[in-house]
Amino acid sequence: RASRVLAQGPRSDRDKKRWMPELSEARMRASELRTLISKSPDQMMANLGEAWRDRETQMTVGGRPGNGAAVPAPPVKVSIGSAGGFSTGQRVRHNHFGDGVITDVTDTSDDKQISVLFDAAEERTFLLSLVADKLEAIAD
């Protein structure tokens, strides 16, 4: 619908050419998110529930409701060692994608593949050798 409105609207051809690829990309991303949610709705709901609990916890100061200002709790880093002691279900933080849960750890011939479902509903797979300095385990 947005593409049709843009195409038939009063904007210049230059603007239309500029925005059509953006709309196409947004449509593809929305489709990917719908697919991801339909594949693992339980995990998605768990992530959303955990994010909500985190938000509630951050809104409480000194055991009583705060004034609405979030009080971020610093994450507790867990040492994973050089062997890459990651396991399925473990909470991790990536310096670019944020917090997530490891959904799969696979040994390859010379490395490990780690799949992470990030709280923003985006699942990524990494080689441990390439992500070791960007990924850290965090306490629940």
**pLDDT per residue as tens digits for the range 31-85:** 877 776 677 777 777 777 777 776 666 655 444 555 555 555 554 443 343 335 7
Crossing angle of helices 41-58 and 13-39, rounded to 10°: 100
Per the structure, the count of domains in the chain is 2
Q: What is the rounded CA–CA span in Å between residue 27 and residue 19?
A: 12
For residue 110, the domain's CATH number is 2.30.30.390
**Assessment of whether the complete model's pTM goes beyond 0.85:** no
Q: Encoding tokens for residue 97?
A: 């994608």
Tell me: do 81 and 134 sit in the same domain: yes
Burial of residue 116 (number of CB atoms within 10 Å: 0-12, 13-18, 19+): buried
Q: What is the rounded CA–CA span in Å between residue 122 and residue 37?
A: 10
Give pLDDT, residue 34.
Answer: 76
Domain ranges, residue 120:
77-138
- Please indicate, yes or no, if residue 9 is contained in any of the structural domains: yes
